[in-house]
Amino acid sequence: MKTVLRFASIVTLAAALVGCSTPAARIKSNQALFDTFPPDVQERVREGNIDMGYTKDMVYIAKGDPDRRYARETALGETEVWAYVDTYTTTERQRVEGPFRYRDVDGSYRTMRDTIWVDVQQRNEYEYLRVEFKNGIVVAIERIER
């Protein structure tokens, strides 16, 4: 019974955390602020889209917290850049030379001097969106071309 309750608690917590990452959940938790946005902005934010001239609040509600924040300095002044990251996994088959020591089913140790092939998975990150703010207003948006 305790295991079932613990599992149910974990599922509920996971659902709550996942729910916080959607525009609908962020709108709900910031409803008064969202209601101050113009109707056309509200519609775009609901869809998770952003545009030039949006405020940090509008971008936050549409996209969530950025994965990275940068301070950018140019001859024209300072800006803040929010970056959003996604991941993908690659699998590569690699050859590994023996000897390998392993425990057999009877508990004894054996040595294998062969070459084996193993699949190595690697998690890769990339920034798919960068949003640049000057005085709290979006002045540039970079999207990855697919």
Helix, strand, or coil (residue 91): strand
Q: What is the largest CA-CA distance in the chain?
A: 73
Helices (H), the chain: 2-19, 23-29, 31-35, 39-46, 56-63
Give the sign of the dihedral formed by CA 43, CA 49, CA 54, CA 59. Answer: positive
Residues of the chain with pLDDT under 70: 1-20
Q: What is the pTM of this model?
A: 0.70
pLDDT of residue 113: 82
Domain ranges, residue 135: 2-143
pLDDT of residue 117: 87
Tell me how many domains the chain contains.
1
CB 26 within 8 A of CB 18: no
pLDDT digits (tens, 9 = 90+) for 24-57: 999 999 999 999 999 999 999 999 999 999 999 9
Within 13 A of 139's CA, how many CA atoms are on the CB side? Answer: 13
pLDDT of residue 31: 97
